[in-house]
């Protein structure tokens, strides 16, 4: 079988992560993107002979082991809580008649 293009190789690694390790697509893609950002795939880009299906399986296993998600459900990443306004320090009410520069509510 001919060697894969660089892009097809990365797609294959992500696909194998979803098929072999039952990862959500987004999680698998993020593992590949992170590895690419850390130059893990640079040799694959320079040497087409490295872009084989057998090597894709090896790389998928290595990426899974290195970036293995925490135990628990892996179908979807946890929802992020809504952003909160910064907490304001509690202030003591001013004594009557001592309020300055306040507008009526």
Would you state the pLDDT for residue 75? 44
The structure's pTM equals 0.64
Residue 105 lies in a domain: no
Would you state the pLDDT for residue 76? 46
Would you state the pLDDT for residue 15? 97
Residue 40 lies in a domain: yes
Could you give the 3-state DSSP secondary structure of residue 104? coil
Would you state the pLDDT for residue 40? 95
Residue 29 lies in a domain: yes
Would you state the pLDDT for residue 73? 45
Residue 1 lies in a domain: no
Residue 52 lies in a domain: yes
Would you state the pLDDT for residue 2? 79
Give ∠ CA 78-80-83 in degrees, rounded to 5: 170
Number of folded domains in the chain? 1
Low-confidence ranges of the chain (pLDDT < 70): 1, 68-105
Residue 38 lies in a domain: yes
Residue 90 lies in a domain: no
Residue 72 lies in a domain: no
pLDDT tens digits for 59-80? 999 999 998 655 444 444 445 5
Report the C-alpha gap between 67 and 100 in whole angstroms: 57
Would you state the pLDDT for residue 45? 92
| Host domain of residue 26 | 6-66
| 16 CB neighbour count, 10 Å cutoff | 21
For the chain, the residue count is 105
């Amino acid at each position: 079988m001919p060697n894969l293009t660089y892009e097809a190789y990365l797609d294959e690694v992500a696909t194998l992560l979803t098929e072999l390790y039952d990862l959500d697509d987004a999680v698998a893609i993020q593992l590949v993107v992170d590895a690419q950002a850390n130059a893990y795939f640079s040799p694959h880009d320079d040497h087409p002979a490295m872009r084989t299906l057998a090597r894709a399986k090896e790389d998928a296993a290595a990426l899974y082991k290195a970036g293995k998600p925490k135990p628990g459900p892996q179908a979807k990443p946890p929802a992020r809580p809504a952003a909160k306004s910064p907490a304001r320090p509690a202030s003591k009410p001013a004594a009557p008649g001592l309020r300055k520069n306040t507008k009526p509510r």
